[in-house]
Structure 1
Amino acid sequence: MPASNRATSSGELSTEPAPGIEGTIHQADAVTGMRRARYLGLQKTHLEHVFSAVALNLIRLDAWWNGHPLDRTRVSHLARLDLSLVV
């Protein structure tokens, strides 16, 4: 559902992106630099976005096939404290 059509619990419309998309946007920006297009013109920009999407999918497939997570999971402060007390 688009962000402009999602209602919050209080009935207001939300302008935030849908949950889970933030990581994808960050990865696309970090890997391919998609914040700014390198080329002028709609067709060239579209082609750049298509190639960037293919590159991201190949990176994700490679990580999945090799059993490597794309990013390390976050460890909370409490969990880190617990680990330091055990040692």
Structure 2
Amino acid sequence: MINPEELNKSVKMFKNGNSYAFRISKKDREFLDADNNTKFEKIVSPDGKEVTFRKVETIRPNILKTANKLYDENADLMKRLENL
């Protein structure tokens, strides 16, 4: 098991084509359970001194289908709830 405290280190920004990037280590990637398809949200503090990257959890692609099925199976209950 990786101790997250051991992952806290300084990193340098580097030029990557026309952009700049931060590199994460293999241990960082493993701890984050991330791959090339993992999406992150970037949050910059108002004072511009802190950048936070937060992993965006993926949702199940069929969640809407499942919700609609449950709604249809319980249509009478849903109708009663509308009238409360």
Structure-1-length-normalised TM-score: 0.22
Which structure is higher in helix share? 1
